[in-house]
Chains A and B, each alone.
Chain A
Amino acid sequence: MEIDPFIFRLSIFILSIFIGYYVVWSVTPSLHTPLMSVTNAISSVIIVGAIIAALAGTSESIFNTSSIFGFVAIILAAINIFGGFLVTQRMLQMYKKKKDKKK
């Protein structure tokens, strides 16, 4: 009997929760704000779904109801991706050690 591919995805999901659990506990508390902004950015990988939806339009009708939702979702996710990574970068740039700043 074949195993349903769903079970494989569920396995990946549950193992990832465990990875997430251990990785996030090892994040230093002083970086919790960048952690939130970067998780925000990476969860916007949902843009993958938006792109599939947007590209599903035919050449006659690029914009049908389904693809319009896709296009709007692309904008939303793109704001998050660029905004999330850049603001994280901006924050991380500010974290400096003592010796760095002494001229």
Chain B
Amino acid sequence: MISANLAAVFYLVSGILFILALRGLSSPDTSRQGNYFGIAGMIIAIVVTFLSIGNFSTSLVYVIVFLVIGGAIGAFIAFKIPMTAMPELVAGFHSLVGLAAVFVAIAAFLNPYAFNLGNVGDIKLASLIEMSIGAAVGAITFSGSIIAFLKLRGIMSGAPITFSGQHILNLILGIGIFVLIFYLCKIQSANIFWTVIAISFLVGVLLIIPIGGADMPVVISMLNSYSGWAAAGIGFTLENTALIITGALVGSSGAILSYIMCKAMNRSFVSVILGGFGADNSADEKKQKSDQKPVKSGNAEDAAFLMKNASSVIIVPGYGMAVAQAQHALREMVDKLKKNDIKVTYAIHPVAGRMPGHMNVLLAEANVPYDEVFELEDINNDFANSDVAFVIGANDVTNPVAKTDPKSPIFGMPVLDVEKCKSVLFVKRSLSPGYAGIDNELFYKDNTLMLFADAKKMTEDIVKNLD
């Protein structure tokens, strides 16, 4: 048994360790150490909680059993999950944080005495407000993340689901939650508390269904942020510093990532929330233009020839590369090129994957050293001085229309200046447009050679032809 003051100091220490965990991520060199700080912070928080309650009865045995069960499931998932599925995994984890927040709030509401918040029917006013907000945000995070998970997993179509009056309905429900919380404080009725949670679950679903597949990177970051605010709400209820600090960190982290993603797509946050953008691939085929402009297409041999005679090559990978599982073949190709003293770098657009930084992880998994991988703003000037750009699985992020045509839906979006390269190799299965549903001018440029094939097969063929 340790005193409440000592416990609070330890919670502060664990909060600081969490800050250091995030700080470590400023460079890959320090990141692993950062992760250990995070783990240490978590262990301290859990052990201190045990000690401060000082209840070493049978209950504790159960707590440890449940902890081990959950831990085993978590560890199993962590080792099994393929890196392409990271977005779904993160969405799934967010839903768990949300649900855990709801459950802790419910437990606190049912047994406020255990949390030192007063008695049933007579909970301290501030605590009641905090736990309702925590529960509401937690519930929104939970159901929103479930929808995001289903969309990313492909169980639910990525196409936006919209109906008239949707935004008004959301607004009414949102106001409803606040009104109910107000009444909850007045009469402390359990039924109102349940209703708040139920409406919040509904709001979470309604918030995410109108958002299209292309905006998923924003959605995941946004839910990341929500899960943080939910944790902070519970932290206030429990008067726990570690939880308040963490909630604030995670909340602002998610908000910043959402901002970065919005900027990378030149979309305002509000328009993402309102949704309706980015139908799924289903619309691809019919949108093909009837008046086909001339396109130069080539085969693996041509591509290999072009690259062998280049002195510098920039690879532009997109999510399509990951879907085709071409990253390992790509790596092989790059190794061969490097053996011929050709300089090879990778150019990554912020929304190249399905979540922030996703493409970097996929390349790292294929053993691509991270110092050959560059972000958009760091490499964009190099295209003009390079011989070949190898675009594989990317599309909209290379479309010059974003710079030239103010009428285009992606106008103003920062894009990679691929067309400035001496020649462009574009691996793609067909001429169909990408997520934004618009034609890519790059296909019809004189210096573009289209390689129509599956990304993995084409890369493997090029590798053979490089010998």
Contact = CB atoms under 8 A, between A and B. Distances in A.
Interface string A14-39: 10110111011111111111111111
B157 interface: no
A33 to B, nearest CB: 4
Contact of A97 (B114, B256, B348, B371): B371
B220 interface: yes
Most buried by B among A27, A37, A59, A85: A27
B5 interface: no
A31 B31 contact: yes
Interface in B368-401: 369-373, 375
Interface string A38-55: 111111111111111111
Contacts of B45: 45, 47-48
B241 A12 contact: yes
Contacts of A23: 19, 22-23, 249
Interface stretch (B79-87, B290-298, B303-311): B79-87
B98 to A, nearest CB: 9
Nearest to B39: A85
Measured as residues with beta carbon below 8 angstroms from the partner, the interface class of chain B is 35 or more
B249 A53 contact: no
A71 B61 CA distance: 11
Interface in B197-238: 220-221, 224, 227-228, 231-232, 234-238
A74 B253 contact: no
B203 to A, nearest CB: 20
B364 A47 contact: no
A101 B62 CA distance: 46
Interface string B407-437: 0000000000000000000000000000000
A42 B83 contact: no
A90 B114 contact: no
B342 interface: no
A79 B358 contact: no
Contact of A94 (B106, B246, B365): B365
B107 A50 contact: yes
Interface stretch (B64-72, B178-186, B281-289, B315-323): B64-72
B70 A82 contact: yes
A51 B35 contact: no
Contact of A78 (B18, B67, B106, B369): B67
Contacts of B254: 36, 39
Interface in A66-103: 66-67, 69-98, 100-101
Interface of B: 11, 14-15, 18-19, 21-23, 25-28, 31-32, 34-35, 38-39, 41-42, 45-46, 49-50, 53, 55, 57-60, 62-63, 66-75, 77-79, 81, 83, 86, 89-90, 93-94, 96-97, 99-101, 103-104, 106-108, 110-111, 113-115, 126, 220-221, 224, 227-228, 231-232, 234-254, 256-257, 260, 348, 350, 353, 355-358, 360-361, 364-365, 367, 369-373, 375
Interface of A: 5-6, 9, 12-14, 16-17, 19-21, 23-57, 59, 62, 64-67, 69-98, 100-101
12 contacts: A20-B250, A33-B86, A35-B356, A49-B104, A49-B234, A50-B100, A62-B59, A66-B111, A69-B104, A74-B63, A81-B71, A97-B369
